[in-house]
Chains A and B, each alone.
Chain A
Amino acid sequence: MANAANPMELLPEKITELVHELSVLPYDNMHHEGPVTGPFVLTNYVVWGLIALATVMVLMIVVSSREKKQMALAAQSGDVRALAPANRLVSVIEAGVEFIRDMAVDVIGQKDGPKYVPLLGTFFFLILTSNIFGLIPGGKSIGGAVGGTVALALIAWLVFVWVGFTKNGFIGYFKSLIPSGVRAMPLAARIGLGGYIFLLEFVSTFFIRPLTLAVRLFANLYAGHIILGVFSAFVVIFMQRITAGGLAVGAVSLLFLIIMYAFELFVAFIQAYVFTILTAVYIQSSVHASEH
């Protein structure tokens, strides 16, 4: 194979392999024919998702029990120094929690924001950790499978729709989809323009929002994994050609692969952040729906 006349001829095969590898497969059988169809098969994505879950859980338990111990120590001995961050791990987790809390307060508001911190924190830490595990060669991110992002987006959707109905009432939430300016217009405009806007807002709120949440996260991570896969395929294909041109293309590809890896690490953070802050924005629009 390595001796094929044109290295580009190897590429379609490599990409098919890559796409197959990125599909939902049983965790113990990489060569499974096509994606998993049964709902109760332990898949590669789920195994890596559980690893991410376990990692976040362990980190959170370690940090929060440490915090509790130190709070008790500070209360008991009155030594203020016990309130200082204990180590780097604690500082990092605290910074993340503080980041989410500030986001919730900034976006949703001083009064309602803090209530949603655990929800937003779960999204952020789970997606971020999973994304980072997805960058390990062979690793998978929950966001790299449509099933995972659809599941997460559905949770976000359920929460903000639930909040919208409970905060504004069933009729009130639907009414809030029409801007108050239109509601004050004459009857004909209210029916015509109001009806049109209602239709747009209804579709946007109940269908587009969850869909974009799911697709954005998936598409970004999937595209990233494809790019990394294609560049590593380039490196493998061209490094096998012991010609000056082959080695040069291989070296450039390797350089790009490293740059893209750094970029994907950035994307891992950004997409976790975007998913979380959009969920916060949607919750905010539900909490304050009748104010618009």
Chain B
Amino acid sequence: MLDLLFPAVAFASEGAAEGAAEGGLAATLGSVYPNPAVIWPTWVAFLILFFLLWKFAFPAILSMLDARAERIRESLEKAEETKVEAERMLEEYKKQLAEARGEAAKVIEQGRKVAETMKDEIIAKANEEAAQIIAKAHEALEAEKRAVVAELQGEVAQLSVAVASKLIGEKLSAEDHAKLIEQYVAEVGGLNDN
């Protein structure tokens, strides 16, 4: 039963019995015998692989890993820089935009003011012109009126003289006529002035 549980022991003890006959350490130790037929080929295999990895494989792979890590680090740094730069530019553009908006508002305000003053000026000028025209028209009217009145006075005087002459003949001298007329005109003119 012990043989069942510990096959290595079983084999070893089995081997021990034979080992006495064959006299080999290999047979005595069984599975736990460090067999030289395995030891030295393992050393050779190890040394070959070690040389290959040490001289060729690992330098190439490790330098690739380092180069890639360096590249990734650089890229991340660059990305960070770019981000900061972009944020700075965005901030600048926002400021510029705000400035431009302010500028535009100012320009519009100014324009409005200019237009306003121009409008006022134009209206004032128009008013003035209109007043002038009206004044001129008044003057012309007044002059016309005066002329008409003067003419009328002349005609009335002549008519009166003619009528009076006819009525009273030639009794009144020219001087008397004139006096009479002026008196009359003054009366009439006085009426007319009102």
State the A residues within 8 Å of B (CB): 11-12, 15-16, 18-20, 22-24, 34-41, 43, 45-46, 49-50, 53, 56-57, 60-61, 63-65, 67-68, 70-71, 74, 80, 83-84, 93-94, 97-98, 101, 117-119, 121-122, 125-126, 142, 145-148, 150-152, 155, 214, 218, 222, 226
Q: Give the contact-size bracket for chain B.
A: 35 or more
Q: Is the CB of A36 within 8 A of B42?
A: no
B46 contacts A146, C-beta separation under 8 Å: no
Residue of B34, B37, B43, B68 ringed by the most chain A CB atoms within 10 A: B37
B59 to chain A, nearest CB (A): 8
Q: Which residues of A contact B8 (CB under 8 A)?
A: 19, 222, 226
9 closest pairs, A vs B, by CB? A147-B38, A151-B42, A118-B54, A39-B36, A64-B60, A60-B57, A147-B35, A64-B57, A67-B64
Residues of A within 8 A of B38 (CB): 24, 43, 45-46, 49, 142, 145-148, 151
Complex interface: chain B residues within 8 A of A83 (CB) = 64, 67-68, 71
CB within 8 Å for A126 and B45 given contacts A16-B11, A34-B15: yes
What is the CB-to-nearest-CB distance from A70 to chain B, in angstroms, rounded to a whole number?
7
Tell me if B35 and A121 are in contact (CB < 8 A): no
Check if B164 is an interface residue, CB within 8 A of chain A.
Answer: no
A selection of 8 A-B contacts at a CB cut-off of 8 Å is A35-B30, A57-B49, A63-B57, A71-B63, A80-B71, A118-B53, A125-B49, A150-B39
B37-A41 in contact (CB<8A)? yes
What's the minimum C-beta distance from B31 to chain A, rounded to whole angstroms?
6
- In the complex the two chains form, is A53's CB within 8 Å of B49's CB? yes
- Cα A35 to Cα B22 in complex, Å, equals 12
- The answer to whether the Cβ of B157 comes within 8 Å of any Cβ in the partner chain is no
Alpha-carbon distance between A212 and B43 when the two chains are bound, in angstroms: 19
Which residue in B52, B61, B71 is a CB contact (below 8 Å) of A93? B61
Q: In whole Å, how far is B35's beta carbon from the nearest beta carbon of chain A?
A: 4
Docked-complex contact A121 and B58, CB < 8 angstroms: yes
Interface centre among A64, A65, A93 (most CB of B within 10 A): A64
Task: Give CA–CA (A49, B62) in the complex, Å.
Answer: 26
A71-B63, A150-B34, A222-B8 are contacts. A121–B26 as well, Cβ < 8 Å?
no
> Which residue of A35, A39, A93, A97 has the most chain B CB atoms within 10 A of its CB atom?
A35
Residues of chain B from 11 to 55 with CB closer than 8 A to chain A in the complex: 11, 15, 18, 22, 24, 26-27, 30-43, 45-46, 48-50, 52-54
Contacting pair A146 B34 (CB below 8 A): yes
The answer for the CA separation of A49 and B42 in the assembled complex, in Å, is 7
Cα distance A50–B41 in the bound complex, in angstroms: 9
Chain B nearest CB from A138 CB (Å) reads 17
Give every chain B residue within 8 A of A60 (Cβ-Cβ): 52-53, 56-57
A15 to chain B, nearest CB (A): 5
| B68 nearest CB neighbor, chain A only | A83
Known: A80-B71, A94-B65, A148-B38. 7 other contacts (CB 8 A): A24-B37, A24-B38, A38-B37, A43-B38, A46-B38, A83-B71, A93-B61
Check B52 against A37 for contact (C-beta < 8 Å).
Answer: no
B56 touches A61 (CB 8 A): yes
Q: Say if the beta carbon of B4 comes within 8 Å of chain A.
A: yes
Contact between A57 and B36, CB atoms less than 8 A apart: no
Knowing A37-B24, A94-B64, A155-B46, the reply to whether A147 touches B36 (Cβ < 8 A) is yes
- A70 vs B49: C-alpha distance when bound (angstroms): 23
Cross-chain contact B46 with A126 (CB below 8 angstroms): yes
Residues of A within 8 A of B22 (CB): 34
The answer to whether B7 has its CB under 8 Å from any CB of chain A is yes
Contact yes or no, A15 B26, CB < 8 A: no
CB of B10 within 8 Å of the partner chain: yes
B121 near A: Cβ within 8 Å? Answer: no
Closest to A101 in B: B62
CB-defined contacts of A142 to chain B, threshold 8 Å: 38, 42, 45
Chain B residue numbers with a CB within 8 Å of A53 are 45, 48-49
Q: CA–CA, A146 to B15, complex, Å? A: 16
B36 touches A11 (CB 8 A): no
B151 within 8 A of A: no
Q: Choose among A34, A45, A117 the residue that contacts B58 (Cβ–Cβ < 8 A).
A: A117
- Chain B residues whose C-beta falls within 8 Å of the C-beta of A24 in the assembled complex: 26, 33, 35, 37-38
Q: Is the CB of B50 within 8 A of A97?
A: no
* Contact in complex: B31, A39 (CB < 8 Å): no
CB closest chain-A residue, reference B18: A34
